[in-house]
Amino acid sequence: LPSWIDPFKEAFFSNKTESNETNLLPPSPSNSRIQMYSLNIIEGGLIYKLLSPIITRQFKANTPEQDHDSTLMYFGEHVDFRDSLRMHNTLTGYVLLLDGLGRVRWMGSGNATDEEIKSLIECTKELTQTDTKRRKVVPRGKQAVRRNLKQNKTRS
């Protein structure tokens, strides 16, 4: 996933000085509405649930400390979740761009091509600009998730 993450961080989270040198300050998004999370789904039944403390400890050890708050882990089978997002290949990583309501607006998988990176960055910019132009408050939290789930059920 570094082929996706690194260019995205470069576009939205890098602190550049006028001389185009990177600051040593921790990165902050150029648009505070952009957030990045890593969700690791560990499937494999009971054995993985029993080993989850060891796996979690190892993940923490191999994840930079600044990414701990944005790295999530899920242990267990979740076929419906994967099916609804069309994530059928369990051997690859997926990248999803969500809007303020939690709807998938863009998706990619595997190693990123230059065209895919450009598309992801352009779509992200368009989403953040569109919301700003409308000056619409984007609902967040449990109410927004419930509303989104209700809308998806009525469309099915």
Tens digits of residue pLDDT in 74-112? 888 778 888 888 888 888 889 999 988 889 999 999 999
Give the integer Cα–Cα distance in Å for 67 and 120.
21
pTM over 0.85: no
Token readout for 145 is: 């998730």
User: Which spans in the chain are helix H?
Assistant: 2-12, 46-50, 52-62, 79-84, 114-134, 142-155
Quick check: 124 and 97 in contact, CB under 8 A? yes
Tokens 């863009």, residue located: 106
What residues of the chain score a pLDDT lower than 70? 15-32, 130-156
Nearest to residue 31, comparing CAs of 117, 106, 128? 128
Name the residue type at position 105. R
Q: Residue 8's pLDDT is what?
A: 92
Token readout for 92 is: 């690859």
Q: Residue 111's pLDDT is what?
A: 93
